[in-house]
């Protein structure tokens, strides 16, 4: 059983995501670290009632940075997993 709320964490709103959705019918989501392509495709299809044709997944690893407020001790910026979902021609997701 797919629990879409646990898989799709948030919609990514960036300039690149806006261009992908306008030109190529692709939408970008931040997903759970344990999610795979099949689970993401089923969750998007269930939540938005669309047909998914392709899913690309990217893992952004956390960067190690020096934290000046803690006297130069190392810390990390958060990593995340994102999915770029391509929809069937004619399908659309309204997010507003």
Residue 34 makes CB contacts below 8 A (sequence gap 6+) with none
Instruction: Give a yes or no: residue 96 inside a domain.
Output: no
Instruction: Give a yes or no: residue 68 inside a domain.
Output: yes
Query: How many structural domains are present in the chain?
Result: 1
Instruction: Give a yes or no: residue 92 inside a domain.
Output: no
Structural domain harbouring 19: 4-87
pLDDT top residue among 66 and 59:
59
Per-residue pLDDT reduced to its tens digit, 46-63: 999 999 999 999 999 999
Report DSSP letters for the chain, one per residue: ---HHHHEEEE---HHHHHHHHHS-EEEEEE-TT--HHHHHHHHHHHH---EEEEEEEEEPPPEEEEGGGTTEEEEPPPEEEEEEEEPTT------
Instruction: Give a yes or no: residue 76 inside a domain.
Output: yes
Please tell me the predicted confidence (pLDDT) of residue 91.
94
Instruction: Give a yes or no: residue 94 inside a domain.
Output: no
Which CATH number does the domain housing residue 30 bear? 3.30.70.330
pLDDT top residue among 78 and 16:
16
């Amino acid at each position: 059983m797919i629990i879409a709320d646990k898989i799709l964490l948030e919609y990514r709103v960036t300039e690149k995501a806006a261009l992908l959705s306008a030109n190529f019918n692709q939408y970008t989501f931040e997903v759970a670290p344990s999610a795979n392509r099949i689970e993401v495709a089923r969750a998007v299809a269930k939540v938005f009632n669309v047909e998914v044709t392709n899913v690309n997944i990217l893992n952004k690893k956390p960067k190690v940075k020096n934290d000046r407020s803690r006297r130069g001790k190392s810390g990390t910026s958060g990593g995340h997993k994102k999915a770029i979902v391509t929809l069937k021609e004619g399908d659309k997701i309204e997010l507003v």
